[in-house]
């Protein structure tokens, strides 16, 4: 697989404008969504899709109930989504909209998300190997260079499963603060994305060999699969493989 890492930002569409955050009935702003479209397609389905993805991720029943919660001054410390919608920031980081063009064989480094990231796949497909379970940290150290670059946590000693997933054309993905994954495009198919993000990830210095091996094996399967075929696979650390192998032998 060709490795063309992370030089993917095609166009920056602007930072979140905090002065417009009182109009949450119009969020995400239609001008941003329209700028991402290459034709006269209505932005209504994009707006609703973005909202539904956020509502599902953070457990709200409707956009109206979310707005009510956002401006209820009697509530406790706001959650990640409330912070984003009322301040324009996530985990105290400002967010911006951008278009990304990921060529076939593009790989992002294994990384953690220091802020909420909202992603829409406009063309093609984006694949990932994601660490299973809830985030184990939401605070990140600087690399010390004074440029605001953050470093992700070590995952070499974690005994968690990793799962393969695909963001298909026309669908949204929400990455919560602290989530960890490695995203990539297949060798035979790239993708174009609309992204709300903080401008950088918290890259993880040491990538377990299991992750790079998983990317290679899934790239081969994705390239060979038929149109519309869904692939699901879980990758286990050695300790989990041995444990489950012993359990299967006992059952036999």
For CA atoms 84, 87, 92, 97, the dihedral sign is: positive
pLDDT of residue 3: 39
Give Dmax over CA atoms of the chain in angstroms: 64
C-beta separation of 154 from 204 below 8 A: yes
pLDDT of residue 39: 65
Look at residue 154 and tell me whether its pLDDT is greater than 60: yes
d(CA 71, CA 85): 10
Just give the CATH number of 9-251. Answer: 2.60.120.10
- pLDDT tens figures, 80-101: 999 998 888 999 999 999 999 9
pLDDT tier, 4 (very low <50, low <70, confident <90, very high otherwise): very low
- pLDDT tens figures, 41-76: 678 889 999 999 999 999 999 999 999 888 886 666
pLDDT tier, 1 (very low <50, low <70, confident <90, very high otherwise): very low
pLDDT of residue 5: 45
Look at residue 150 and tell me whether its pLDDT is greater than 90: yes
Q: How far is CA 55 from the centre of its chain?
A: 15
For residues 170-193, average pLDDT: 97
Highest mean pLDDT among 184-188, 229-233, 241-245: 184-188
For residues 202-207, average pLDDT: 94
For residues 134-147, average pLDDT: 84
Please tell me which residue, 49 or 6, carries the higher pLDDT value.
Answer: 49
pLDDT tier, 183 (very low <50, low <70, confident <90, very high otherwise): very high
pLDDT of residue 142: 87
Look at residue 207 and tell me whether its pLDDT is greater than 80: yes
pLDDT tier, 18 (very low <50, low <70, confident <90, very high otherwise): low
- pLDDT tens figures, 160-172: 999 999 999 999 9
Look at residue 116 and tell me whether its pLDDT is greater than 90: yes
For residues 167-190, average pLDDT: 97
CA distances from 82 to 58, 76, 91, 203, 212 (A): 10, 11, 11, 26, 35
Question: Domain residues of the chain, as ranges?
Answer: 9-251
C-beta separation of 87 from 21 below 8 A: yes
C-beta separation of 142 from 148 below 8 A: yes
């Amino acid at each position: 697989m060709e490795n063309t890492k992370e030089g993917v930002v095609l166009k920056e569409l602007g930072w979140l404008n905090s002065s417009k955050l009182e109009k949450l009935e119009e969020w995400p702003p239609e001008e941003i969504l329209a700028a991402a479209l290459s034709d006269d397609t209505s932005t209504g389905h994009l707006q609703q899709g973005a909202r539904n993805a956020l509502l599902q991720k953070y457990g709200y029943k409707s956009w109206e109930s979310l707005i009510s919660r956002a401006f209820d001054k009697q509530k406790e410390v706001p959650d990640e989504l409330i912070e984003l919608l009322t301040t324009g920031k996530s985990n105290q980081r400002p967010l911006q909209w951008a278009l990304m063009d990921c060529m076939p064989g593009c790989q992002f480094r294994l990384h953690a998300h220091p802020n909420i990231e909202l992603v829409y796949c406009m063309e093609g497909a984006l694949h990932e190997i994601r660490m299973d379970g809830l985030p184990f940290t939401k605070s990140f150290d600087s690399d010390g260079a004074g440029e605001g670059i953050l470093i992700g946590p070590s995952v070499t000693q974690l005994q968690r499963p990793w799962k393969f997933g695909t963001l298909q054309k026309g669908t949204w993905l929400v990455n919560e603060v602290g989530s960890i994954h490695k995203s990539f495009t297949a060798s035979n198919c790239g993708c174009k994305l609309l992204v709300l993000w903080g401008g950088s990830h918290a890259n993880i210095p040491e990538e377990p060999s299991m992750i790079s091996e998983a990317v290679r094996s899934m790239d081969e399967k994705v390239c060979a699969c038929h149109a519309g075929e869904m692939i699901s696979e879980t990758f286990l650390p050695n300790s989990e493989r041995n444990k489950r192998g012993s359990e299967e032998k006992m059952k036999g």
